[in-house]
Amino acid sequence: MIADFYVPCELKKKVGNNKNDKFEYTNNYSTIPMNGYLGSSNDIELLIDGKTTVRTQARFYCDNLDIDYGDLVLYESITYRVIQVPQNTIHKDHHMKLMLEKVV
């Protein structure tokens, strides 16, 4: 069972945004503890304006059913962004499957 491989991690749930003194929007997050497992990942090389960058995407499974597109996940001291609408797996209301992208 996938839950046997869960590692304690944190969900940073977006709760709103504010303008700073330069009138730029900044996001506010609340931290929620959860358990998750980072599965297979792949690296995608992108050539943008003559520079090569690497985007790392990974499958992620977690026990938190209240997770949305754009939230952040702190997993083993690395921050990832949710880039796919989370899916409730075949085991309804047991765990979620989603796609994360490493934030650089």
**What integer pLDDT is reported at residue 74 of this predicted model?**
95
**What's the start-to-end Cα distance of the chain, in Å?**
31
Domain ranges of the chain: 2-102
CA distance 34 to 37: 10
Report yes or no: 29 and 11 within 8 Å, Cβ to Cβ: no
The domain 2-102 having CATH identifier 3.40.50.150: the answer here is: no
How crowded is residue 64: how many other Cβ atoms within 10 Å of its Cβ? Answer: 18
**Which two three-digit tokens encode residue 20?**
């700073």
Tens-binned pLDDT, residue by residue, of the chain (104 aa): 676 789 999 999 988 878 878 888 888 899 999 999 998 889 988 888 888 888 899 999 888 888 888 899 999 999 999 998 777 766 676 788 899 999 98
